[in-house]
Amino acid sequence: MAVHRETRGPYLIEASAYHLPKFGPVAATPALVDASQGGKWQPRLTLTRLACDKNLQRSQSFPGLSPVFETSRGATRYATDLGRSMIDEKSPRLIV
């Protein structure tokens, strides 16, 4: 799993993708099928406010983002773009 890292202003953006398992036929207990048979990719995002003179370094994670994607590249790109827009727009969801 590749991780994209970039610095934007006082923040570090870390974007990646998690491969969701593909579930088998519906049963009392769904059986996991081999992940290589084609699960989807979910974006993951961590934003870190870098340390400066008056502030310590702090991180905030956004683990369960949607939508899901066919490729890890698409999911990582989505998480990166979301992090950039949250920083640029000073989103209220960004609390670090």
Residue range 63-73, pLDDT digits in tens: 889 899 999 99
Report the alpha-carbon distance of residue 46 to residue 10 in Å, rounded.
14
**pLDDT(1) > 80:** no
This prediction's pTM: 0.80
Residue range 26-68, pLDDT digits in tens: 544 444 444 444 589 999 999 999 998 888 999 999 988 989 9
Q: Which long-range contacts (CB under 8 A, 24 or more apart) does 51-56 make?
A: 52/10
pLDDT value at position 41?
A: 94
Q: What is the dihedral of CA 55, 61, 62, 64, to 10 degrees?
A: -170
Q: Which two tokens stand for residue 20?
A: 């969701």
pLDDT value at position 92?
A: 94
Report the alpha-carbon distance of residue 53 to residue 36 in Å, rounded.
47
What value does the mean pLDDT take over residues 77-92?
97
> Where does the pLDDT of residue 25 fall: very low under 50, low under 70, confident under 90, or very high at 90 and above?
low
